[in-house]
Amino acid sequence: MDKTPMPRRIAPLTDTKVKTVKPTKKPLKLFDGGGLFLLVSPTGGKLWNFKYRFEGKEKKLSFGSYPDISLAEARQRREQARSLLANGADPSVIKKVQKESGLKETETFELIAREWHTKFSPSWADSHATKIIRRFELYIFPWIGSRPIKSITAPELLAVLTRIEAKGILETAHRAQQNCGQVFRYAVATGRAELDPTGDLRGAIPPANGKHMATITDPKEITGLLRAINDYRGSAVTRCAMQLAPLVFVRPGELRHAEWHEINLKTAEWRISANKMKSGSPHIVPLSKQAIAVLLEIHPLTGHGRYVFPSPQTDTRPMSNNAVLAALRRMGYAKEEMSGHGFRSMASTLLNEQGWNRDAIERQLAHAERNRVRASYNYAEYLPERKKMMQAWADYLDRLVNEEENKIVPIRAAR
């Protein structure tokens, strides 16, 4: 029997533990994990330290004293130091250079980015917040995270974004540029940078090919797609999800997480809570007669449970995020032809072309509102017009399917 002792697991510190710990006759070390520890001196002083190895030598770096540096701030500095180590830089040397140049440690890109994320992410959906910080950690921090934010130039940032472009993920490159711009503007607003270099990068990265949001906007092709969905021979739950998707054009994640208690068939409304929305604001989806018909069809199958479109394994979880995509592939639609997001692009393109109020369309698409305070109140904005638009849109799709020889009746005529 192997009697090798198991490594001792370090329980992370808590704010209460750090605040209430009492000094002892000898220096006391409280470990948080990842090399971070709090050194409590016999006189009561509390100093944050980071223990690490660089080029085979054990080293130590001070992050400052508590409570001037909180537990959260100490952890941010630890992650920045670990990022430097991962890229072959010695955190102690970087700190010395910063000190000699008169730059505060809190003025590096990574620390300001994490501060910005901590400040604004509570108003976002959890999945959206996770995606943003993960994008920084994978593609931005390793290259410019330790750089003084005010010294980062447009060419330097472009070099970082070009690395992402070279991986063939153009959409990620554009989103990374957008997020970096938000951080730079936050740094300008808080007096730690003088300009946002992303403004000089407009057009420097090719437009995204949009394959991951591939869509169909030609009326004859939409007819074929809708008929293929109606004839789908797979799961009834998946078929109903695909039938509802073009009628409500919400995001795929919002569709598959639809719950019965959110839907009011009497008022013909689907009200989605803020924590499910990318914008972080509640959203109202007016339900057309056709959308209600789909919901009435699936209700006998799933109405006893929580989710409108549950997983086939258990009704305590929603359907897989790949269910609709897989069904589209089985129906013969390649990834560059149609996607789950494609129903949104389809509606957006045609509704704009056919003269509906652009602001009403944008509100129905639930695009993120820049003004967070306004966003919390305007989720019902343009609602009467949106109700008319959603019913006219559903009627238009019906005619595409039923009109003989594809003699399409323009949506303006329906209005």
pLDDT, average across residues 137-147: 86
pLDDT score recorded for residue 101: 53
Of the residues 51, 278, 306, 329, only one is catalytic, namely 278
Burial of 394 (0-12, 13-18, 19+ CB in 10 A): buried
CATH T-level assignment (fold) for domain 109-209: DNA polymerase; domain 1 (1.10.150)
Please give the angle made by the CA atoms of 268, 282 and 248, to the nearest 5 degrees.
45
Per the CB < 8 A criterion, the answer to whether 194 and 188 are in contact is: yes
Q: Which residue, among 99, 102, 82, 103, has the nearest Cα to 91 in the 3D structure?
A: 82
Q: Does residue 308 register a pLDDT over 50?
A: yes
CATH T-level assignment (fold) for domain 213-414: hpI Integrase; Chain A (1.10.443)
pLDDT score recorded for residue 413: 38
pLDDT, average across residues 64-82: 84
Q: Does residue 176 register a pLDDT over 70?
A: yes
CA atoms within 13 A on the CB side of 141: 22
CA atoms within 13 A on the CB side of 276: 18
Measured CA to CA, the distance from residue 58 to residue 151 in angstroms comes to: 31
The string of pLDDT tens digits covering residues 366-402 is 875 544 444 444 666 788 999 999 999 999 999 988 8
Confidence of residue 181 (pLDDT cuts 50, 70, 90): very high
Q: What is the mean pLDDT of the chain?
A: 82
The string of pLDDT tens digits covering residues 8-39 is 456 788 888 888 988 888 889 999 888 899 99
pLDDT score recorded for residue 211: 43
The string of pLDDT tens digits covering residues 155-164 is 999 999 988 8
pLDDT score recorded for residue 9: 53
pLDDT, average across residues 50-61: 87
Does the structural domain 15-102 have CATH classification 1.20.59.10? no
The yes-or-no answer to whether 109-209 and 213-414 have a common fold is no
Q: What is the largest CA-CA distance in the chain?
A: 91
- Backbone phi, psi, residue 309, to 5°: -125, 80
Of the residues 96, 134, 377, 415, only one is catalytic, namely 377
Q: Is 278 an annotated catalytic residue?
A: yes
Confidence of residue 104 (pLDDT cuts 50, 70, 90): low
Of the residues 53, 60, 167, 367, only one is catalytic, namely 367
Of the residues 192, 341, 363, 399, only one is catalytic, namely 341
Note if the pTM is more than 0.75.
no
Q: Is 46 an annotated catalytic residue?
A: no
Q: Does residue 212 register a pLDDT over 50?
A: no
Task: Spell out the domain ranges in the chain.
Answer: 15-102, 109-209, 213-414
Of the residues 344, 363, 386, 399, only one is catalytic, namely 344
Highest mean pLDDT among 2-6, 135-139, 183-187, 405-409: 183-187
Residues 6+ positions from 176 with CB-CB distance below 8 Å? 135, 136, 139, 140, 160, 161, 164
Q: Is 202 an annotated catalytic residue?
A: no
Of the residues 77, 251, 257, 399, only one is catalytic, namely 251
Q: Is 117 an annotated catalytic residue?
A: no
Q: Is 8 an annotated catalytic residue?
A: no
The string of pLDDT tens digits covering residues 244-262 is 999 999 998 999 999 999 9
Measured CA to CA, the distance from residue 119 to residue 113 in angstroms comes to: 10
Q: Is 333 an annotated catalytic residue?
A: no
What element of type H or E holds 271? strand 269-272
Per the CB < 8 A criterion, the answer to whether 394 and 343 are in contact is: no
pLDDT score recorded for residue 99: 63
Reduced DSSP (H G I as helix, E B as strand, rest coil) percent helix, strand, coil of the chain, to 5: 55, 10, 35
The string of pLDDT tens digits covering residues 310-363 is 998 888 899 988 888 888 888 877 776 788 888 988 898 888 888 888 888 888
pLDDT, average across residues 124-130: 73
Answer with the residue of higher pLDDT: 408 or 338.
338
Q: Does residue 106 register a pLDDT over 70?
A: no
